[in-house]
Amino acid sequence: MKLQRISEFQHEFSFLSSQENLDSFYARFLQSDLGKIYVALPWDSLVERLNIKEKQSGSKMIFSPRGRIGLMFLKHYSCCSDKKLIEQLNGNIDYQFFCDIHLGFNRLTNFKIVSQIRCELAANLDIDALEKDLFLHWKPYIDSKNQITVDATCYESELRYPTPQKLLWEAVDWLYKELKKTCKIVGVKMLRSKYLKWKKRYIGFSKMRRKTTKKRKPLTRALLHLLEKLLNFESQLRKSHKLSFTVGYYRRVATIKTVLEQQRSYFETGVSPKNRIVSIAKDYIRPIVRGKEVKPVEFGAKVNKLQIDGINFIEHLSFNAFNEGTRLQSTVYKAQSLTKTKLKILVADAIYATNKNRNFVTKHDIQTDFKRKGKLPKNYKEEKKLKAIITKERATRLEGSFGKEKEYYHLKRVKAKTKATETLWIFFGIHTANALEIGRRIQHSQAQIAA
């Protein structure tokens, strides 16, 4: 069909005015990258595993069970915010095919539906079970099932860089505003404090280019004192008036109390506390020391991953720091449970080459690229060259996939607000990249059969 400009049309036309037009657009959709993801996904098993059901009574959700899962994959494919995603969905027929919805001349305006669906799916997320279903569906297009590559990475949360002053001020600011609201409702006079004075000083401090110790110490000391004063007042107010609040309020107050204890200890001793809280809104996030030159500390989920023929799977995900070297045995067992094949070759970083892991791989007759210990064999030069090639392959394929997921599948900064939704966000980001790769393999195999 000849391409034309709409302004040059001399007759009236209508999009999707007939079934024939709809079929033409659908056929075109299947040829796109989004269509390849659509073809690669086992929709029915995903719906069943995530336990998504239609309402039996009342108004139905506009998205079907399949459409809700599609919206999550689409989020990572398009790399859009929730609001932008709904705007794109309104005007893109390919996006509508993918999400099992036809809007016609209607428009969706409630962009919060994306967050609502994310919370719904996060409640039923079982990573191991879902990955088994995905691997079973993708199995015909995955080769070298007896070889895996292992490494860990960190998917950072959307979080400002935490300093004691920022954290203490956030706690003071939130608690002061909540107390002001409560006092107004109860009819009690608000506690006298120097909140406004320290607000001005904190704003001035935050604008400084060089925040010297001479400036940091007085501000930190004052914020610690002010926060303790506000917490005592909050406790007295709640007990004297027998007030009840939401679970979120109690959790936030408990987090602030822990922050006060940790920051006071750090201020007095200079020793960083264990399980240090870095955000009062995301109290589950901990500092993860990665030892990189550019970014020595990261804040987010640490994920130990295994790769089978270029397809990544999550072995372990935690918001607490862990040593990935201790996860090698469980990684081997997960790979074998997915593939139902005995593992023969394992490629991993030097951190995995502990004595315990060496004994384990030797016992199970698994070849690795670990640097040899003890006396070197006669054919070591050839072995060293082979191991160098394997190590390079790991660095390019597995570590390259980390960068690809972060740059192109919305995992550079995870913007979800809770622990469960962050986990879901990471899961869908990783498997959107996998689904596109599998979709391309499916199309390639079909082209070969047709030829």
Q: How far apart are CA 227 and CA 234, in angstroms?
A: 10
| Same domain assignment for residues 415 and 307 | yes
| Same domain assignment for residues 260 and 197 | yes
Beta bridge mates, 348: 150
Q: Is residue 274 part of a domain?
A: no
CA distances from 154 to 218, 321, 349, 405, 409 (A): 35, 10, 15, 12, 15
Q: Is the pLDDT of residue 16 over 70?
A: no
Residue 156's pLDDT band, with cuts at 50, 70 and 90, is: very high
Looking at residue 417, the DSSP 8-state letter turns out to be S
Give the CATH number of the domain where residue 413 resides.
Answer: 3.30.420.10
Q: What is the pLDDT of residue 6?
A: 59
| Same domain assignment for residues 190 and 323 | no
| Same domain assignment for residues 369 and 443 | yes
Tokens 């406790």 -> residue:
235
Q: How far apart are CA 274 and CA 288, in angstroms?
A: 12
Token pair for 17? 């005015």
Looking at residue 408, the DSSP 8-state letter turns out to be H
Number of separate domains in the chain: 3
Question: pLDDT digit string (tens) for 235-265?
Answer: 999 988 888 889 999 999 999 999 999 999 9
| Same domain assignment for residues 445 and 304 | yes
Q: Is the pLDDT of residue 14 over 60?
A: no
Choosing from 62, 93, 122, the residue where a domain stops is 122
Question: pLDDT digit string (tens) for 381-407?
Answer: 777 777 777 777 777 788 889 999 999
| Same domain assignment for residues 81 and 154 | no
CA distances from 398 to 113, 151, 390, 403, 438 (A): 34, 8, 12, 9, 16
Q: Is residue 289 part of a domain?
A: no
| Same domain assignment for residues 26 and 102 | yes
Token pair for 451? 């030829």
Burial category of 155 from C-beta neighbours within 10 Å (exposed 0-12, middle 13-18, buried 19 and up): buried
| Same domain assignment for residues 69 and 185 | no
Judged by DSSP in three states, 299 sits in strand
Residue 11's pLDDT band, with cuts at 50, 70 and 90, is: low
Q: Is residue 292 part of a domain?
A: no
Q: Is residue 280 part of a domain?
A: no
Q: Is residue 6 part of a domain?
A: no
Q: What is the pLDDT of residue 56?
A: 76
Q: What is the pLDDT of residue 105?
A: 82
What is the span of the domain harbouring residue 175?
164-269
| Same domain assignment for residues 51 and 190 | no
Q: What is the pLDDT of residue 1?
A: 55
| Same domain assignment for residues 22 and 104 | yes
Burial category of 62 from C-beta neighbours within 10 Å (exposed 0-12, middle 13-18, buried 19 and up): middle
Q: Is residue 443 part of a domain?
A: yes
Q: Is residue 287 part of a domain?
A: no
Q: What is the pLDDT of residue 68?
A: 95
Q: How far apart are CA 424 and CA 97, in angstroms?
A: 23
- Answer whether 309's CB lies under 8 Å from 145's CB: yes
Q: What is the pLDDT of residue 289?
A: 86
Token pair for 117? 């669906």
Question: pLDDT digit string (tens) for 311-356?
Answer: 999 999 999 999 999 999 999 999 999 999 999 999 898 899 999 9
- Answer whether 240's CB lies under 8 Å from 276's CB: no
Q: Is the pLDDT of residue 18 over 90?
A: no
Q: What is the pLDDT of residue 290?
A: 79
Question: pLDDT digit string (tens) for 102-151?
Answer: 888 889 999 999 999 999 999 999 999 999 999 999 999 999 999 999 99
| Same domain assignment for residues 238 and 117 | no
Q: Is residue 294 part of a domain?
A: no
| Same domain assignment for residues 207 and 332 | no
Q: What is the pLDDT of residue 9?
A: 59
